Structures are given as C-alpha cells and as structure tokens.
A and B are shown apart, each in its own frame.
Chain A
C-alpha cells in the first residue's frame, strides 16, 4: 500500500502561471483534504471533500479550486499563481466513522516567484 501519494514533490512557478497538484489514496477512504503550511504556522485547511462528488471550502480557499475526480483522487488547482501561495501543500484522507485517523501525504513544496 502506498497510502497517500502527492505529485509533484517540488515545483517552481512564475507569477500568473497555473498548475494542478495531484493527490491519490489507495485506502478506500471517503474523505480527502488539502492543507497548506507556511513557515512557523500550523496547517490551514484549503478545501475538503467529505465524500466522492462533494467539495467544500476550508479556512483559506481563495485562489484555489479542487476536483474530486473519483474516490481515489483529489486535485488542487492554482489558476493564476501568486507569491502568497508559496507554501508546502499536504493532502490527507480519512475513512468516516468513529476512528477517523487522518493519513497525510509527504507534501508538495511550491515556490511562486
């Protein structure tokens, strides 16, 4: 089992460029999440998908869009990257129920110049 896989691991963009961060999980989890983490700060929720076919905004959704492509995959898109979006992005997933452990990917380090 690979768990939660994020691609790419590193990316450098110029201001205004677009890109999609990919996330896939092989644990048959219902819910998936995108977080960002900036230096010295905790994790902030961007968007989440409670189940296949649904997405909802988190704490900091501006400048991002998401797609829950199927049960396995949840992508995060930056349509017009800005330097303020320089961050480490983490994808996570969980199985709904009383034991909702979050499983995280290893992160994508994004720099916007």
Chain B
C-alpha cells in the first residue's frame, strides 16, 4: 500500500473551512484514499473515501487531483468538535473474501479549531 505524507499540525478558525492536504505520490491505480479522524483518547472514526472522483458526505468532502498523487479533505464549516488528528490512508480495496490486508496509519495531521 502506498505511503502518505501529511503536515503534522494545522489551525483553523471556527466556522471556516478546514482544508487538510495529503500527498500520496506513489499511489497505484487500484488504491483508494481513506480519511479517518481520532478525537482525543477515542477510537478513530471513518470520515470518507474515494478512488478518483471527488466525494462528499455529511461529514466532509474529498478532492483528489487528476493525477491522484494528492488529495484534500475539506471540512466546510469547522467547529470546535472537529479538533482531532486526521489520518490519510491509501490502500487497495479487496473484493475477495480472503484477501483482506493490513491497514497502515501514518502520523496524521493534528487539527486545532480555534474560536
């Protein structure tokens, strides 16, 4: 699975959009981009994932560049409760029952949303 690079920390003003970048320059054609977040001392929480098209759900939007070498997670109106560590992961999605593989988390980006 491809390696990812994220900035160690970012700040964002409450109510503004938070844009979290992730570099995955060695991504393969069949690897998906996943985003998770971890609020202090809790288990990580799934946010969103995508292959090559931009994706949006109730939590966030995911923008993947055309060459798929980088992506951006967008929290459109950040709140204090969005303060967390955000992890970007790339991996192959396995469709065969016994081919599940390991999921490797990097260091993530610590997002601080400030009033």
| Chain A residues packing against B (C-beta within 8 Å) | 4, 30-31, 33, 35, 41-45, 48, 50-51, 54, 56, 58-59, 88, 90, 92, 94, 96-107
5 CB-based A-B contacts, threshold 8 Å: A33-B103, A42-B108, A92-B103, A97-B93, A102-B44
B106: A residues at CB distance < 8 A: 42
| Contact yes or no, B97 A96, CB < 8 A | yes
| Contact yes or no, A43 B95, CB < 8 A | no
| Chain B residues packing against A (C-beta within 8 Å) | 32, 34, 36, 38, 41-46, 49, 85, 87, 91, 93-108
Q: Pick from A30, A42, A56, A107: contact of B102, CB below 8 A.
A: A56
Measured CB to CB, the closest approach of chain B to A3, in angstroms, equals 9
Main secondary structure of the interface of A (DSSP, over half): loop
For A95, give the chain B residue with the smallest CB separation.
B100
Q: A102-B46, A103-B46 are in contact. Are A50 and B101 (CB under 8 A)?
A: yes
| Contact yes or no, B36 A50, CB < 8 A | no
A90: B residues at CB distance < 8 A: 43-44
Q: A35-B105, A42-B105, A58-B102 are in contact. Are A104 and B94 (CB under 8 A)?
A: no
| Contact yes or no, A45 B94, CB < 8 A | no
**How far does the alpha carbon of A58 sit from the alpha carbon of B103 in the complex, in Å?**
9
B44: A residues at CB distance < 8 A: 43, 90, 92, 102, 104
A100: B residues at CB distance < 8 A: 32, 34, 91, 93-94
For B108, give the chain A residue with the smallest CB separation.
A42
**How far does the alpha carbon of A100 sit from the alpha carbon of B100 in the complex, in Å?**
10
**How far does the alpha carbon of A43 sit from the alpha carbon of B41 in the complex, in Å?**
12
| Contact yes or no, B103 A96, CB < 8 A | no
**How far does the alpha carbon of A13 sit from the alpha carbon of B9 in the complex, in Å?**
34
A30: B residues at CB distance < 8 A: 97, 100
| Contact yes or no, A42 B43, CB < 8 A | no
| Contact yes or no, A96 B99, CB < 8 A | yes
Q: A42-B107, A45-B102 are in contact. Are A107 and B43 (CB under 8 A)?
A: yes
| Contact yes or no, A51 B103, CB < 8 A | no
B34: A residues at CB distance < 8 A: 100
